[in-house]
Amino acid sequence: MYIKNFFRLAEWEIDDLLKAVVTLLTIYFFCIFLKIAGLDLSILKGIIGFIIILFIPGTLFLRIIKFDSVKNSLELVIYSLGISLVIIMLLGFTLNTLLPYVGINNPMSISIYITALNFIIILMCYIVYLKDENSYKTPLIQSKSLNSNMGILLILLPFISIIGSYLMNNYQINLFSLILISLICIIGLMVGFQKILSPKMYPLAILSISLALLFHKSLISSYIWGWDISFEYFMAQGVIQNGYWFMNFPNNYNSMLSVVVLAPALSHYTGLNLVWVLKIIYPFIFAFLPVGLYFTFKKQTTAPIAFLSVFFFISLFTYYTEMLSVVRQMIAEFFLVLILLLMVSSNLNAAKRSILAILFSISIVFSHYGLSYILLFVMLFSMLILVFENHFKFLRFLTIELIPQKLYSGTQLVKNREVNSKPKRQYLAISEKKSKNYHQIINHKTNLALDYNLTEPNHSGFQYKLLKKFKTILKYPAEIISQIQNYKLYKRIFFAGKNLVVLTYLIAWETYSSSSEVLKNPNGKIKPSSPRMSLSSRMRRKIRSTRAQGLTYPLRNLNIRNLKNYQIKLPPMKRPHLNNAHLNLPKFKKLQIKGPTIKKPVINLPQIGKPRIHRPKIKFGNYNSLISRINKHKKDNSHHLFNGTLVMLFITFLFTWYIYTSSSSAMISILNVGNDIFKNIINLMDPNASQGLSLVLAQQKSFLRDIHKYLYLTSQFFVFLGLVALILNQTHLKFQKEFKSLALGAFVLLVAGIVVPFLASQMNTSRLLHIALILLAPFLVVGIFFGLKILRKRIKWLKPSFSLKLVSIYLVIFLLMDSGLAYQFAPHEEEISISLSTTYDFPKFNDRELQSAKWLKNEFGEKGIYADKHRSCVLRSIYPDCEEVPPYSDLVRPDYYLYFGTINIQKNGLYIYKMTGANVIQEMGYSNPANLIKERPKIYDNGGSIVYGRSG
């Protein structure tokens, strides 16, 4: 049984496509009308709205541009999702910019945005209908392929994750989360050992694993948790409440449409609370990033290598922990992966590829300022590498490929001929006499001298090779210059002779042509023409000739110039009757008289053919091979995505957007970063100035944490080893040239995060590593393969088939450590995962803490408030001016409120960091708050949270 492939909705027949879109819109509007009538179907509305807003605009756009070159269905879904996000953000920006000019002060309100988006969808449907050419046939999929046991298990992984989060939130049971991580490890081993899991299931497996890992963390707590997400929530919530985005609010987050436009739009259309939009929809979008990476890597490597590379990328805790609290970077990274996927998809139409690349690159600027600056650096570094590579290739062509064959013939003759003790001086003298070119003379002398030295029997093999190289080096410049000069001289002679022959041919033609005036006078003088008769004389002459014997035969039709040599016999004719009436010339009929046949004398001119002029040719060695290499070089460079036009457009838009939005706060931030780096450049490799180096040198608390640390260090070593194998051309994989240069740029950035002061601290070292691994992840697998290849020369029992198994085992150990599962079974180890432990302190709220924070805002408004390191992060979603408790009690202001969470009450302490330099942690722990609360009244206590008032 076959069913319609809903993953390829953009390729359905026009009737089926429009019916599907109209059906979804009808159900959506029906849910809205039922809600107005009092029947709430929020779940159905949310699901339908979720499908419409995330996939339908992109699907219709792909249909309009006829983007039908993608073979994999899931890859087409990724493109649809990316374009839909672009349309959502651009539509919100357009409404917010234009509607105030027509008197609408709330352009981002729910009613206006839903109406505008539905109008855009209907308009795109109309355009699709007009442009349809009946060239599509609805793709079908076999229903049996959806019923495989392995596919069902993979689809169940996200649901196991949701159940585990629910049990953890309500009953503090982590059993399902432990089972989930164990199943993911088993799937990784299946790929490494090439068992059970088919390569066709790899994309679905990656999507399911990504969703499961993200949901098992994001669904913990009924409120948002993390660091930057709190202020992102505050900015998006302000747009929802006001119905307007204030563009000039001086904050970096305010420039990000991925926060201030995308989040409110998703909340409006799906009807979900903004908290659940950030906890469900954003992770769902981010789960497609590893799938896009898989297709990017697979187009350059093999399916198992691509899967294990992506498995390494999602195994790091940054992907499913830290990134969940930076939603703007999640969207920006998704667009970056789409650009990389376009870059390696050289089979796509160039124009469509360029359109999508421009949209996705501009969307990165909309989404995250940090990633935009990083991408700009990597692109410029990549272009620099490609430019140098092209210059090196040109020099290679000039010095090796363009050398004539005869330059190599001298050495071959020396090897084959008999050894002579004396050079041929007579040949040298003849050459000097004949050659007028100084470079040729020097070249002949050099050849003979070196030929003589090469034929000496006493020289060793090393001297022979050295002299041979020396001869070649001295011989090339003179020969090349001589060939070029001779070619120019022969070229001038050839064109001069060609012009002379053409001129001679024209003179001969004019001379011997029957129509030429030269033949009329033997002396070569042309008779002057008689003066032109007047009009009246010509009319009288015409009348006389007409009246005379009816002779009206036009002799000019016979093309006869001289009648002396011819005898013309005319047939008898009657004289026409003439009367004295007025002569009406238009009624006069011309007599139809058949003239005699007269043979025109023919002059046979000799046929002048194209002259054969010998044009000297320069011997280019294997000329066909050279042309093929040049054409291949042009073909390799023709499909580069990051060309000068795209980079200049990206730079222009980046600086324009960050200067004219949010009062230039994003531009000021990058200038401040550059200023800090410039001032502290002398502190290279200083642990207090470099956050990355301080993490590498930091002492760990336990043996298990030491293993965890060295896993990270070895992974970076393998990445470096993979890049070495790439440079040495030892990978045997088809990495695209542009991807290689971008990967080298990412590695340079990663090294700079450790060496350069105040660089990694601007984004945190873990996030910088996460961004770099988008390009560097496959080189970990390549590095392990290369290392095993080197060891295989000494360890003979190490078979090549063992390499893939070893990589999968290494990555499974990595996942067990980073997910916190290994710490659950280790005694006396501090737990590191909020999804596996309830005692682990983290920036998150429970219901009682959230209740106390809302009470405080309702009672006292947005006034000064203190909280410790973790509680202050979440409180900023309600109080943007919330501050951390200072490490020293004398710095605490008495007019501020003091907020305690559940962990603070249980441990009777406030979690405080002490930092130095570039956000380098020197000391952290729980400090006793007795001195802070002794003069403060307790104004709120619900058993899980306490609020203290002002002192005095």
Cβ neighbours of residue 4 under 8 Å, at least 6 residues apart? 12, 16, 138, 139, 140, 141
C-beta of residue 24 within 8 angstroms of C-beta of residue 51: yes
- Closest residue by Cα to residue 747 from 730, 728, 763, 724: 724
Q: Which two tokens stand for residue 378?
A: 């990597």
Model confidence band, residue 365 (pLDDT cutoffs 50, 70, 90): very high
Give, rounded to a whole angstrom, the gap between the first and last alpha carbons of the chain. 79
Poorest-pLDDT segment among 14-28, 226-240, 632-646, 774-788? 632-646
**Most confident range, picked from 389-403, 694-708, 843-857:** 843-857
Sign (positive or negative) of CA dihedral 360, 365, 367, 373: positive
Between 205 and 799, the more confident residue is 205
Instruction: Give residue 464's pLDDT.
Output: 52
C-beta of residue 878 within 8 angstroms of C-beta of residue 849: no
Q: How would DSSP label each residue in 617-666?
A: ----SSHHHHHHHHHHHHHHHHT-SS-HHHHHHHHHHHHHHHHHSGGGHH
Residue 843, CB-side half-sphere exposure with 13 Å CA sphere: 23
Residue 309 phi, psi (nearest 5): -65, -45
Model confidence band, residue 491 (pLDDT cutoffs 50, 70, 90): low
C-beta of residue 620 within 8 angstroms of C-beta of residue 404: yes
Model confidence band, residue 433 (pLDDT cutoffs 50, 70, 90): very low
DSSP state of 227: S
- Closest residue by Cα to residue 817 from 186, 162, 189, 185: 185
Instruction: Give residue 511's pLDDT.
Output: 57
**CA pair distance 74, 207, nearest whole angstrom:** 10
Between 534 and 746, the more confident residue is 746
Beta bridge partners of 921: 915
- Share above pLDDT 90 across residues of the chain, in percent, rounded to a whole number: 52
Poorest-pLDDT segment among 110-124, 335-349, 758-772? 758-772
Poorest-pLDDT segment among 231-240, 574-583, 909-918? 574-583
Q: Which two tokens stand for residue 249?
A: 């609010």
Model confidence band, residue 787 (pLDDT cutoffs 50, 70, 90): very high
Cβ neighbours of residue 473 under 8 Å, at least 6 residues apart? none
The 865-867 sheet, strands edge to edge: 883-884, 865-867, 897-900, 946-948, 938-941
The residue ranges of DSSP E strands in 727-861, in sequence order, are none
Between 699 and 339, the more confident residue is 339
Instruction: Give residue 610's pLDDT.
Output: 53
**CA pair distance 116, 109, nearest whole angstrom:** 11
Instruction: Give residue 885's pLDDT.
Output: 92
Instruction: Give residue 111's pLDDT.
Output: 94
**CA pair distance 318, 771, nearest whole angstrom:** 10
pLDDT, tens digit (0-9, with 9 covering 90-100), for 755-779: 888 888 778 889 999 999 999 999 9
Instruction: Give residue 438's pLDDT.
Output: 38
Question: Is residue 187 predicted with pLDDT exceeding 80?
Answer: yes
At 920 the three-state DSSP class reads strand
pLDDT, tens digit (0-9, with 9 covering 90-100), for 638-653: 567 878 888 999 999 9
Q: How many residues does the chain have?
A: 952
> How confident is the prediction for the chain on average, in pLDDT?
81
Question: Is residue 597 predicted with pLDDT exceeding 50?
Answer: yes
Residue 747, CB-side half-sphere exposure with 13 Å CA sphere: 22
Packing angle, helices 149-171 and 175-193, rounded to 10: 150
Q: What angle do CA 511, 515, 518 make, to 5 degrees?
A: 40
The burial class, CB within 10 Å (0-12 / 13-18 / 19+), for 776 is: buried
pTM beyond cutoff 0.85: no
Residue 927 phi, psi (nearest 5): -105, 145
**CA pair distance 870, 513, nearest whole angstrom:** 104
Q: Count other C-beta atoms under 10 Å from residue 629's C-beta.
A: 15
Q: Averaged over 83-91, what is the pLDDT?
A: 97
Helix, strand, coil % in the chain, rounded to nearest 5:
65, 5, 30
Q: Averaged over 796-820, what is the pLDDT?
A: 90
Instruction: Give residue 630's pLDDT.
Output: 53
At 950 the three-state DSSP class reads coil
Would strands 897-900 and 2-4 be described as parallel, antiparallel, or unpaired? unpaired
Q: Averaged over 44-62, what is the pLDDT?
A: 96
Instruction: Give residue 890's pLDDT.
Output: 84
pLDDT, tens digit (0-9, with 9 covering 90-100), for 137-166: 889 888 777 778 899 999 999 999 999 999
